[in-house]
Structure 1
Amino acid sequence: MPSRMSLFNRDLFLQIGRNVGWISIVYFLGLLFVLPIRMMMMMDSESAYTEWTPYTHLFQYDFAIQFILLIAAPVLLSVFLFRFLQVRQWVDLMHSLPVGRERIFHFYTLSGIVFLLLPIILIAVILMFLHNVTGWSNFYSYEDIWVWTGITAVFNLVIYFAGVFVAMVTGISVVQAVLTYIFLLFPAGISVLLTYNLGMLLYGFPSSYYQIRKLELMSPITHFTFLESPDGKIGWKSLLLYLAISAILYVLALLIYKKRKTEAASEAIAFGSLRAIFKFGVTVCTMMVGGLYFGEYQRTFGWLVFGYAFGTVLGYFVAEMVLQKTWRVFSLLNLRSFAVYSGIIVLLLTGVQSLGAYEKYVPVQDEIKSVTLANYIYSSPEENALYTADPLKSSEAVESVRKLHAEIIVNEKGNKRDLRNTQSFYFIYEKTDGKKTVREYRINQLAYEKWLRPIYMSNEYKHATNPLFKIKDDSVRRISIRDGVDIGKSVVIADQTEIRDAMEILKREVENETYEEWKSPIGTSTTIEIMSKADQFNLELKSSYMEFRGWLKEKGLLEQATIMPKDINYILVSKNFADTADWRDKGDPEEWLIRPLEKDSETLKIKNKEQIQAALDQAGYDWYQGGDYMALFVYKQSNTKEIRTFSEKNAPGFIKTHFAK
Structure 2
Amino acid sequence: MIFNRLFCNRGILFQNFRQHGWLGILFLLTLLFSLPLYIATERRGGITQHITSLFEANGETHILFAITFPVAMGIFLFRYMQSGAPSDLFHGLPLKRKHLLTVNLLSGFGMILIPIWLTTAITGWVWAAQDRMAFIFDGSEIWMWGLSMSIYSLFMFMLTVAVGMCIGQSVLQGLTVYAILLLPVVFWFIFTLHLQHYLFGYPYGDMSSYAEKISLVLRMASISRFPVVDGELIIYAALAVLFIPLAYVLYAKRKVESATQAITFTLVKPIFRFGLMFTLVLIGGAYFTVIAPPGSAGWTIFGYILGGIVGYIVAEMIIRKTWLIWNVRLLPKLALYGLLSALILYVPVADWNGYAARVPEVNDVKSIKLGGDRYTYVNGVNQRMDDHPFYSDNPEFVGAVLALHQKIIDSDLPLLDPVNPDDDYDESVYISYKLNNGKVMKRKYQIPETEFRQELMALKQLEDYKKVAYDTYKLDEDILSIGIRSTISSYRKIYIGSPDQVREFKELLKQDILDQTYEEQRSPWQSFAYAELNQESHSKDPYQPREMWNYEIKPSYDRVIGWLKENKLYDQLLVTADEIASAQFVKQEIDSPGNPQWVFAQPEYIDGSLGSSKQVATKNKKMISDLLERQRSGERTEKATVYQIKLNAIRGENIYMMLKEEDLTEEMKAILSEK
The question of a shared fold, defined as TM-score above 0.5 by the shorter chain, is answered with yes
Question: Residues 346 and 643 (structure 1 numbering): CA distance in 2 closer, same or farther, change over 3 Å?
Answer: same
Per-residue CA shift, 1:35-60, capped at 9, x if unaligned? 34445654xxxx77845658765445
Matched, 1:201 2:201: no
Matched, 1:292 2:278: no
Tell me, in whole angstroms, the C-alpha distance in 2 between the residues paired with 1:127 and 1:404.
58
Matched, 1:11 2:8: no
Deviation at 1:323, TM superposition (A): 0.4
Q: Which residue of 2 aligns with 1:544?
A: 556
Q: How many residues align?
A: 648
Matched, 1:443 2:447: yes
Tell me, in whole angstroms, the C-alpha distance in 2 between the residues paired with 1:252 and 1:549.
71
Tell me, in whole angstroms, the C-alpha distance in 2 between the residues paired with 1:76 and 1:186.
20
Deviation at 1:557, TM superposition (A): 0.8
Tell me, in whole angstroms, the C-alpha distance in 1 between the residues paired with 2:304 and 2:192.
15
Q: Which residue of 2 aligns with 1:319?
A: 315
Q: In the alignment, is the contact (CA less than 8 A) between 2:463 and 2:514 conserved in 1?
A: yes
Decide which of 643, 649, 655 is 2:657's aligned counterpart.
643
Q: In the alignment, is the contact (CA less than 8 A) between 1:158 and 1:242 conserved in 2?
A: yes
Tell me, in whole angstroms, the C-alpha distance in 2 between the residues paired with 1:508 and 1:588.
31
Question: Residues 163 and 434 (structure 1 numbering): CA distance in 2 closer, same or farther, change over 3 Å?
Answer: same
Deviation at 1:464, TM superposition (A): 2.4
Tell me, in whole angstroms, the C-alpha distance in 2 between the residues paired with 1:149 and 1:441.
45
Q: Describe how 1:34-53 pairs up with structure 2 within 5 A.
A: 34-38=34-38, 41-42=41-42, 50=46
Deviation at 1:6, TM superposition (A): 4.2
What is the TM-score when the length of structure 2 is the normalising length? 0.86
Tell me, in whole angstroms, the C-alpha distance in 1 between the residues paired with 2:49 and 2:433.
46
Matched, 1:507 2:519: no
Q: Which residue of 2 aligns with 1:605?
A: 618
Question: Residues 329 and 586 (structure 1 numbering): CA distance in 2 closer, same or farther, change over 3 Å?
Answer: farther
Q: In the alignment, is the contact (CA less than 8 A) between 1:623 and 1:643 conserved in 2?
A: no
Tell me, in whole angstroms, the C-alpha distance in 2 between the residues paired with 1:396 and 1:4.
75
Decide which of 237, 247, 268 is 1:243's aligned counterpart.
237
Question: Residues 79 and 421 (structure 1 numbering): CA distance in 2 closer, same or farther, change over 3 Å?
Answer: farther
Matched, 1:252 2:252: no
Deviation at 1:142, TM superposition (A): 4.4
- Where 1:412 maps in the other structure, the secondary structure is coil
Q: Describe how 1:322-471 pairs up with structure 2 within 5 A.
A: 322-356=318-352, 357-374=354-371, 376-379=372-375, 387=387, 390-409=390-409, 410-413=411-414, 415-416=416-417, 419-420=422-423, 422=425, 424-467=428-471, 469-471=472-474
Q: In the alignment, is the contact (CA less than 8 A) between 1:623 and 1:644 conserved in 2?
A: no
- Where 1:621 maps in the other structure, the secondary structure is coil
Q: In the alignment, is the contact (CA less than 8 A) between 1:569 and 1:607 conserved in 2?
A: no
Q: In the alignment, is the contact (CA less than 8 A) between 2:598 and 2:636 conserved in 1?
A: no
Question: Residues 297 and 462 (structure 1 numbering): CA distance in 2 closer, same or farther, change over 3 Å?
Answer: farther
Larger relative contact order, structure 1 or 2 (CA cutoff 8 Å, min sep 6): 2
Tell me, in whole angstroms, the C-alpha distance in 1 between the residues paired with 2:53 and 2:421.
49
Q: Which residue of 1 aligns with 2:264?
A: 270
AA aligned to 2:251 is Y
Tell me, in whole angstroms, the C-alpha distance in 2 between the residues paired with 1:511 and 1:54.
39
AA aligned to 1:471 is K
Question: Residues 455 and 236 (structure 1 numbering): CA distance in 2 closer, same or farther, change over 3 Å?
Answer: closer
Decide which of 155, 160, 169 is 2:157's aligned counterpart.
160
Deviation at 1:171, TM superposition (A): 0.9
Per-residue CA shift, 1:180-208, capped at 9, x if unaligned? 12223434443334333222232222232
- Where 1:438 maps in the other structure, the secondary structure is strand
- Where 1:266 maps in the other structure, the secondary structure is coil
What is the TM-score when the length of structure 1 is the normalising length? 0.87
AA aligned to 1:632 is K
Q: In the alignment, is the contact (CA less than 8 A) between 1:525 and 1:621 conserved in 2?
A: no
Deviation at 1:623, TM superposition (A): 7.4
Tell me, in whole angstroms, the C-alpha distance in 2 between the residues paired with 1:634 and 1:624.
27
Deviation at 1:360, TM superposition (A): 1.9
- Where 2:646 maps in the other structure, the secondary structure is strand
Tell me, in whole angstroms, the C-alpha distance in 1 between the residues paired with 2:574 and 2:159.
62
Q: Calculate percent identity across the aligned residue pairs.
A: 25
Q: In the alignment, is the contact (CA less than 8 A) between 1:571 and 1:632 conserved in 2?
A: yes
Q: Which residue of 2 aligns with 1:529?
A: 532
Decide which of 101, 106, 121 is 1:105's aligned counterpart.
101
Matched, 1:495 2:512: no
Deviation at 1:548, TM superposition (A): 2.0
Q: In the alignment, is the contact (CA less than 8 A) between 1:483 and 1:526 conserved in 2?
A: yes
Tell me, in whole angstroms, the C-alpha distance in 1 between the residues paired with 2:554 and 2:90.
81
Question: Residues 479 and 121 (structure 1 numbering): CA distance in 2 closer, same or farther, change over 3 Å?
Answer: closer
Tell me, in whole angstroms, the C-alpha distance in 1 between the residues paired with 2:76 and 2:439.
50
AA aligned to 2:658 is R
Q: Describe how 1:140-159 pairs up with structure 2 within 5 A.
A: 142-159=139-156
Q: Which residue of 1 aligns with 2:540?
A: none
- Where 1:413 maps in the other structure, the secondary structure is coil
- Where 2:506 maps in the other structure, the secondary structure is helix
Deviation at 1:657, TM superposition (A): 5.9
Q: In the alignment, is the contact (CA less than 8 A) between 1:279 and 1:319 conserved in 2?
A: yes
Matched, 1:92 2:69: no
AA aligned to 2:485 is R
Deviation at 1:335, TM superposition (A): 2.0
Q: In the alignment, is the contact (CA less than 8 A) between 1:71 and 1:159 conserved in 2?
A: yes
Q: In the alignment, is the contact (CA less than 8 A) between 1:19 and 1:81 conserved in 2?
A: no
Deviation at 1:599, TM superposition (A): 5.5
Per-residue CA shift, 1:458-504, capped at 9, x if unaligned? 2221122111x212445011121121234512111122222222122
AA aligned to 1:11 is G
CA RMSD, 1 decimal: 3.4
Give unmatched runs, 5+ long, in structure 2: 538-546
- Where 2:5 maps in the other structure, the secondary structure is coil
Per-residue CA shift, 1:530-567, capped at 9, x if unaligned? 22335322222222223322221111111112323333
Q: Which residue of 1 aligns with 2:542?
A: none
Tell me, in whole angstroms, the C-alpha distance in 1 between the residues paired with 2:19 and 2:413.
61
Per-residue CA shift, 1:323-379, capped at 9, x if unaligned? 0111122333212211221122233334344334222222233333333333x5445
Q: Which residue of 1 aligns with 2:33?
A: 33
Decide which of 276, 285, 291 is 1:282's aligned counterpart.
276
Decide which of 263, 275, 298 is 1:302's aligned counterpart.
298
Tell me, in whole angstroms, the C-alpha distance in 2 between the residues paired with 1:578 and 1:134.
63
Q: Counting helix residues as a fraction of each chain, which structure ranks higher?
A: 1
Q: In the alignment, is the contact (CA less than 8 A) between 2:20 and 2:77 conserved in 1?
A: yes
